[in-house]
């Protein structure tokens, strides 16, 4: 908090517009109200504490034996088929209906899995709750009817409580966690990437030249060896025999050699043998950078993170799983988090300084010398607020990034706090002229907070094309 106030004072000294001051103060107040970072967003349907009346059913209630978990048995082609059908819908003039849903299965020891499934809703006219909380966050008592309950307790007595934020899952992975788990995640993300590329016509990546890989080897019969080996290389052996015989004078220029009299030494036989080869596949590292300040709460975060999942899936497909991901969150300071779950869920109520994140990316790239071996992608999601109004600190860092990155995509999901004015990030990016001069490296996509999945995919197309 102290740091924030200091920063605020510095900014004030530089001079702030009225609007700016208001935004900053709003965020400061939020920061005071909520404090430390916490996990606010969950990538699963929010499970109500109690079950609905209609969720009870005989089959589950009456049979003791819990059904054994059945794994996916509908072949992937049926998924393809469904998506094909969806494409046809669009041609027939109706909006698409299948969404590629993502569910996170919370696991023990934090090894959550992402399951990618197609979902759809059947729309009907139904009653809705009067939702007052939507944007106001956690404010006051709910107006709803409440739940049923039974047992002891006076009126007004508290019978239980539930933390507003769940405890952060313990870091590191627990023992006994097989490789299978992680693989499962990757394979479904890979599938999603395939689906996105094929069905939503996301472009394929242009090959930017093979990069040298240091860690992967392929084994192939490429080396030649004389005398012994796995497969006789007949052509090379013949050459060798002829050379030897020329040296011996058995073959003279101008006369036909006598095949019967040629000498063959054991050394003449050339074999191919299995050998370790460096793999020259291209590989990529992707930085996902997200603003997690107070103003991002709710929809903007949802949009940014959903878009980042899709981008991640697409890159995973494009690079045949050879993608490394780094997750960076920032408010006025930036930090790296270890996995997607934390990236998705973390929420803090602080100020906003984009430059901090860019600095961290540059630092990581420099220290780990990533630019030597990898294609580097950076995707930044923000609501467009920046206390550094004119990008004085961000722009130099951004230019540094443009020096090594294959693509930088900035997504601005407007939080709608200040009406329709253009956001700071958008303003200073436009003003800097980088969007024009580095058109093939830097892309900016601005969307409103009510954007749907189709809009997200549009955005991705633009960011990566």
Partner 1 sequence: MELISQHAKRIMEGCKDRARQAGLRFEDETLEYVVTNRDMLELGPKVMIPTLYDYWVQEVEILREQGRYELYPSNPYETVINTRPPISYYNDNNPDWLNVMIFYHVIGHIDFFQNNLFFRHTWDYDFTGRALADKRLIAKLRSEHGRWVDYVIEFARTIDNLVGYFDILEESGKKSKKEQPSLLDYYFDVFLQHGARSAVSSYSREIERYNKLLREHPEDGELRFLKRITEKYSELESLYARSLKETKPVGRTDLLEFLMEYSPFLKTEKNRWMLMVLEVIRSTSLYFQPQIRTKILNEGWASYWHDTLFLQDDRIKGHEVDYAIVNAKVTSMPRVGLNPYALGMRLFQYLENKAEKGRTGLEYFMTQDREQRKNYDEATGKGREYIYHIRENYCDSMYINAFIDQDFVDQHKLFVVGKRLNKERMSWEYYVKSRKAEAYKAMVADSLYHPPRIEVTVAENNALVLNHIFEGKPLLKDFIQGVLLGVEYLWGEEVHLYTSVPIPMKASRDIDGQLREETPKRTIQWKRFRYTMKDRTLSRTLVE
Whole-number minimum distance, CB 456 to partner 1, in Å?
A: 16
Question: How many Å separate Cα 104 from the centre of its chain?
Answer: 14
Strands 407-413 and 346-347, by their bridges, are: unpaired
Distance CA 106, CA 104 (A): 6
Nearer to partner 1 by C-beta: 99 or 211? 99
Joined together, the tokens standing for residue 198 give: 């094929």
Whole-number minimum distance, CB 377 to partner 1, in Å?
A: 28
What value, to the nearest 5°, has the Cα angle with vertex 224 and ends 223 and 229? 100
Whole-number minimum distance, CB 278 to partner 1, in Å?
A: 39
Nearer to partner 1 by C-beta: 129 or 267? 129
Nearer to partner 1 by C-beta: 139 or 249? 139
Distance CA 349, CA 344 (A): 15
Nearer to partner 1 by C-beta: 64 or 261? 64
Nearer to partner 1 by C-beta: 95 or 172? 95
Nearer to partner 1 by C-beta: 129 or 422? 129
Whole-number minimum distance, CB 195 to partner 1, in Å?
A: 13
Closest CA to 43 of 242, 231, 306: 306
Whole-number minimum distance, CB 213 to partner 1, in Å?
A: 34
Closest CA to 267 of 243, 250, 285: 243
Whole-number minimum distance, CB 391 to partner 1, in Å?
A: 25
Whole-number minimum distance, CB 20 to partner 1, in Å?
A: 12
Distance CA 463, CA 465 (A): 6
Contacts of 66 (CB under 8 A, 6+ apart): none
Joined together, the tokens standing for residue 27 give: 């965020």
Whole-number minimum distance, CB 431 to partner 1, in Å?
A: 28
Strand, helix or coil for residue 272:
strand
User: Which residue shows structure tokens 């709910």?
Assistant: 142
DSSP string, 67-90: PPPPPP-S-HHHHHHHHHHHHHHH
Whole-number minimum distance, CB 54 to partner 1, in Å?
A: 6
What does the H/E/C string look like for 203-259? CCCCCCCCCCCCCCEEEEEEEEEECCCCEECHHHHHHHHHHHHHHHCCCCCCCCCCH
Distance CA 449, CA 462 (A): 18
Contacts of 119 (CB under 8 A, 6+ apart): 98, 99, 100, 101
Strands (E), 259-344: 270-278, 284-291, 323-330, 334-337
Joined together, the tokens standing for residue 282 give: 């291209």
Nearer to partner 1 by C-beta: 86 or 424? 86
Whole-number minimum distance, CB 298 to partner 1, in Å?
A: 13
Distance CA 188, CA 208 (A): 26
Beta bridge partners of residue 217, listed in sequence order = 278
Distance CA 31, CA 230 (A): 69
Whole-number minimum distance, CB 147 to partner 1, in Å?
A: 4
């Amino acid at each position: 908090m102290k740091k924030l106030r200091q920063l605020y004072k510095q900014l004030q000294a530089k001079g702030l517009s009225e609007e700016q001051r208001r935004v900053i103060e709003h965020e400061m107040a939020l920061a005071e109200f909520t404090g430390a970072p916490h996990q606010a967003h969950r990538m699963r349907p929010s499970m109500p504490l109690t079950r609905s009346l209609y969720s009870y059913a005989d089959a589950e209630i009456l049979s003791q034996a819990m059904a054994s978990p059945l794994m996916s048995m509908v072949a992937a082609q049926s998924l393809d088929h469904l998506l094909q059908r969806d494409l046809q819908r669009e041609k027939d003039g109706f909006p698409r209906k299948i969404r590629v849903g993502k569910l996170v299965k919370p696991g023990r020891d934090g090894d959550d899995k992402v399951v990618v499934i197609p979902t759809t809703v059947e729309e009907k006219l139904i009653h809705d709750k009067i939702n007052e909380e939507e944007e106001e966050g956690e404010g006051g008592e709910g107006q709803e009817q409440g739940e049923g309950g039974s047992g002891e307790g006076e009126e007004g007595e508290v019978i239980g409580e539930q933390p507003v934020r769940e405890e952060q899952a313990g870091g590191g992975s627990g023992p006994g966690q097989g490789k299978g788990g992680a693989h499962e995640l990757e394979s479904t993300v890979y599938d999603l990437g395939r689906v996105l590329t094929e069905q939503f016509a996301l472009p394929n990546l242009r090959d930017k030249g093979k990069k040298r890989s240091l860690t992967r080897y392929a084994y192939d019969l490429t080396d030649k060896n004389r005398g012994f080996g796995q497969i006789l290389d007949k052509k090379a052996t013949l050459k060798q025999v002829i050379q030897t015989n020329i040296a011996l004078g058995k073959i003279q220029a101008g006369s036909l050699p006598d095949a019967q009299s040629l000498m063959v030494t054991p050394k003449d036989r050339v074999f191919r043998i299995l050998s370790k080869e460096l793999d020259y596949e291209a590989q990529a590292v992707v930085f996902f950078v997200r603003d997690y300040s107070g103003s991002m709460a709710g929809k903007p975060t949802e949009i940014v993170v959903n878009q980042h999942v899709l981008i991640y899936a697409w890159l995973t497909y494009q690079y045949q799983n050879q993608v490394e991901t780094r997750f960076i969150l920032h408010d006025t300071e930036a930090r790296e988090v270890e996995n997607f779950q934390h990236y998705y869920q973390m929420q803090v109520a602080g100020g906003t300084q984009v430059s901090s994140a860019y600095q961290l990316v540059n630092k990581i790239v420099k220290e780990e010398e990533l630019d030597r071996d990898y294609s580097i992608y950076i995707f930044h999601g923000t609501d467009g607020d920046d206390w550094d109004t004119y990008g004085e600190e961000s722009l130099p860092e951004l230019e540094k990034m443009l020096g090594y990155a294959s693509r930088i995509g900035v997504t601005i999901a407007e939080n709608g706090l200040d009406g329709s004015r253009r956001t700071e990030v958008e303003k200073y990016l436009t003003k800097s002229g980088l969007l024009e001069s580095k058109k093939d490296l830097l892309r900016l996509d601005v969307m409103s907070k009510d954007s749907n999945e189709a809009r997200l995919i549009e955005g991705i197309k633009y960011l990566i094309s």
